[in-house]
Amino acid sequence: MNRSGAESDKRTAVEVTKDKNGIGRVLLRNPRGASARAIFKPPKAVRGGIPICFPQFGSRGLLEQHGFARNKIWVIDENPPPLHPNDSNGKAYIDLLLKPSEENMKVWPHSFEFRLRVSLAEDGYLTMISRIRNINCKPFSFSFAYRTYISISDISEVRVEGLETFDYFDNLCDKERFTEQGDALTFESEVDRVYLSSSDVIAVLDHERKRTFTIRREGLPDVGVWNPWEKMSKSIADFGMRNTRGCFVLMEQQWRNQ
pLDDT tens sequence across 54-68: 999 888 778 888 899
- The predicted pLDDT at position 6 comes to 43
Confidence band of 49 (pLDDT split at 50, 70, 90): confident
Higher per-residue confidence, 99 vs 233:
99
> Which residues neighbour 86 within 8 Å (Cβ) at sequence distance 6 or greater?
none
What average pLDDT does the segment 151-170 reach? 93
Specify the range with the lowest mean pLDDT, choosing from 97-101, 186-190, 200-204, 246-250.
Answer: 246-250
What average pLDDT does the segment 171-192 reach? 95
- The predicted pLDDT at position 47 comes to 73
pLDDT tens sequence across 213-243: 999 999 999 999 999 887 777 776 666 545 5
Does 65 belong to an annotated binding site?
yes
What mean pLDDT is reported for the chain?
A: 83
Confidence band of 9 (pLDDT split at 50, 70, 90): very low
Specify the range with the lowest mean pLDDT, choosing from 85-89, 106-110, 120-124, 172-176.
Answer: 85-89
Does 159 belong to an annotated binding site?
no
Cβ atoms within 10 Å of 41's Cβ, excluding its own: 7
What average pLDDT does the segment 162-177 reach? 96
Asked if pLDDT for residue 7 goes beyond 60, the answer is: no
- The predicted pLDDT at position 24 comes to 61
What average pLDDT does the segment 127-156 reach? 91
Which of 31, 61, 33, 65 minimizes the C-alpha distance to 49?
33
What percent of the chain clears pLDDT 70, i.e. is strictly above it? 76
Does 147 belong to an annotated binding site?
no
| Three-state secondary structure call for residue 1 | coil
Sign of CA dihedral 198, 118, 152, 34: positive
Which span out of 40-44, 93-97, 152-156, 250-254 was modeled with the highest average pLDDT? Answer: 93-97
Please tell me the chain's helix, strand, coil percentages from 3-state DSSP, rounded to the nearest 5: 10, 40, 50
d(CA 233, CA 16): 27
Partners of 72 in beta bridges: none
What percent of the chain clears pLDDT 90, i.e. is strictly above it? 50
- The predicted pLDDT at position 218 comes to 92
Confidence band of 8 (pLDDT split at 50, 70, 90): very low
Domains of the chain, start order: 32-255 (2.70.98.10)
| DSSP result, 183-207 | SSEE-SS-EEEEESS--SEEEEEET
